[in-house]
Amino acid sequence: MKRRIFLKGSLLSGLISFAAGSSLLLPLKLLANWNKEAFQATDMKTANAALGDTTAAIESDRVFLDVKDIAENAAVVPVKVSTDLENAESIRIYVENNPNPLIATFKLSQYTDNFVFIRTKMRETSNVIAMVEADGQLYMAKKQIKVTAGGCGG
Amino acid sequence: MAKKNIKLRAKLKNGIVTVKAIFKHPMETGLRKDKVTGLKVPAHHITETTCHRKDDLLLSSQWGPGVSKNPFISFTLKGIDKGEMLTIAYVDNKGKTESLDVKVK
């Protein structure tokens, strides 16, 4: 008899912990798989190709890239990207000379207001590139950011 | 419950919600060498983050190792009311996940 009760009890508690676990995981269910190929690519072309793009990005003044000209601390470079393009679907941030140029991709929805802010690492003086995908076309903005090694300002 | 590694704020102003989040995470690129042993420190970084309102996916992002240590991210949302719950979640390359809810102020 005791064994029965024990069995029932353990089954029930198992169910409860399973339910708790699954509800905790719920918000992550919609996560797509991380695009390893794109993020581990060592140049921008490969990264873009891995993200499924064949057409080249057009430079556009409707993509706004806000970064300071000189990065005093290369480990923390604040990057702001915004756009007034309608139907913007995604935003990508690249640091051209980094070992892995692709920093981040943001998938937008009808609720987002076309603005993202993130802090990136930079290995050396490089172009920071923001790309916005809208209506199947890539638009970009580019800016060269100087990294002052050793903190001597230069 | 263990202390959360996420800090999250969401503030409504002029119809636009500004969300700010900081994740406490080492963000190792896998390229840095340990000064004592001379061995490469294995990669350990956040790969994906999402922002949800209940079942609606508001923003999802994928990150490479080039995002700074203890990443800070900010973005804006529209069509969200005061008092609604937003959920931010992340997953790193070791499979660790965490999420946090916040009420829009």
Which pLDDT value is given to residue A150?
Answer: 53
Whether the pLDDT of residue B82 is over 60: the answer is: yes
Residue A79: how many other CB atoms lie within 10 Å: 24
Whether the pLDDT of residue A29 is over 60: the answer is: no
Torsion of CA A7, A12, A13, A18, to 10 degrees: 130
Q: What ranges make up the beta strands (E) of chain A?
A: 58-59, 63-66, 70-71, 77-83, 88-95, 102-107, 112-120, 126-134, 137-147
Is the Cβ pair B59, A99 closer than 8 Å? no
Which residues lie across from A71 on neighbouring strands? Answer: A147
Which tens digits make up the pLDDT trace of A92-144?
Answer: 888 888 888 888 888 888 888 888 999 988 888 888 888 888 888 888 888 88
Question: Which residues 44-103 of B are in CB contact (within 8 Å) with A?
Answer: 47-48, 50, 52-53, 56-69, 71-80, 87, 89, 91, 93, 97, 99
Q: Lowest-confidence range among A47-51, A127-131, B9-13, B85-89?
A: A47-51
Which pLDDT value is given to residue A21?
Answer: 46
Half-sphere exposure of B39 (CA within 13 A, CB side): 4
**What would the mean pLDDT of A22-36 be, rounded to a whole number?**
55
Residues A47, A53: Cα–Cα separation, whole Å? 9
- Residues 6 or more apart whose CB falls under 8 angstroms from that of B40 comprise B30, B31, B32, B33, B34
Interface ipTM: 0.84
- Say which of A27, A100, A120 has its CB closest to residue B99: A27
Which pLDDT value is given to residue A12?
Answer: 52
* Percent residues over pLDDT 90 in chain A: 1
Residue tagged 């946090």 (tokens)? B100
**B21: its two tokens:** 């989040």
- The phi and psi torsions of A18 (rounded to 5 degrees) equal -65, -45
**A128: its two tokens:** 């920071």
| Closest by Cα among B102, B90, B86 to B24 | B90
* Percent residues over pLDDT 70 in chain B: 98
- The better pLDDT of the pair A81, A38 is held by A81
Judged by DSSP in three states, A93 sits in strand
Residues A122, A95: Cα–Cα separation, whole Å? 7
